[in-house]
Homo-oligomer: A and B are copies of this chain.
């Protein structure tokens, strides 16, 4: 569940039952699991028909996601997932390293032992998905892991910013995993869990930062023309 939820205010916790909300959730899920191919055009009526609604709510959702830079509206009106560039990749990495450790630290005091256990369970399923090479499951679980932490901060500003960043790099990472697989992936999830159990802010920041660098720094630039 996205924490910086669309179509609803931060202080107003009702999902609503609008078609727009359904479409928004569906498209976000699709982006995060890499079901849209960067550079490939996505059409309004196509999406609408696929989701069984009129083009109307789809139009609003596309504007919404375009504002978060998760979708790109070309000058001719065509919509597509933005293609990754070395420049963008570097900036996303920088922004993640600035924001996510801060957000994790702010969550620390709200995270309880039950959360650590929950995170451990997620991490175990991540290891399994790495073994089977199911990259879509891996991406979903990895996001669950990070946002289960971040969510605890109850953040209204930082969390949406981070959410926007994930929306931007996820589709690209999917193509990377498709090429090189997920077997060589390493993460710092166990260090993070330990830091949460210890209530150690510095260690948690470090674990998150390292995790980001391991995930994006090593694998990520695969196939990108050098900056």
Q: Which residues of A does B touch, CB under 8 Å?
A: 4, 6-10, 12-14, 16, 20, 59-61, 63-69, 72-75, 82, 87-88, 91-92, 94-95, 98-99, 102, 154-158, 160-161, 164-165, 168
Contact = CB atoms under 8 A, between A and B. Distances in A.
A59 B57 CA distance: 10
Say how many copies of this protein the assembly contains.
2
B88 A157 contact: yes
Contacts of A164: 161
Nearest to A83: B11
A120 B87 CA distance: 30
Contacts of A102: 94, 98
A59 B55 CA distance: 14
Contact of A156 (B60, B74, B87): B87
A12 to B, nearest CB: 5
A31 to B, nearest CB: 13
A160 B94 CA distance: 14
A161 to B, nearest CB: 5
27 contacts: A7-B66, A8-B73, A9-B72, A9-B73, A9-B74, A10-B69, A12-B72, A12-B75, A14-B75, A16-B75, A20-B63, A63-B64, A63-B67, A64-B67, A65-B67, A67-B68, A87-B154, A88-B157, A91-B158, A92-B157, A94-B102, A94-B158, A95-B158, A98-B98, A157-B165, A157-B168, A161-B164
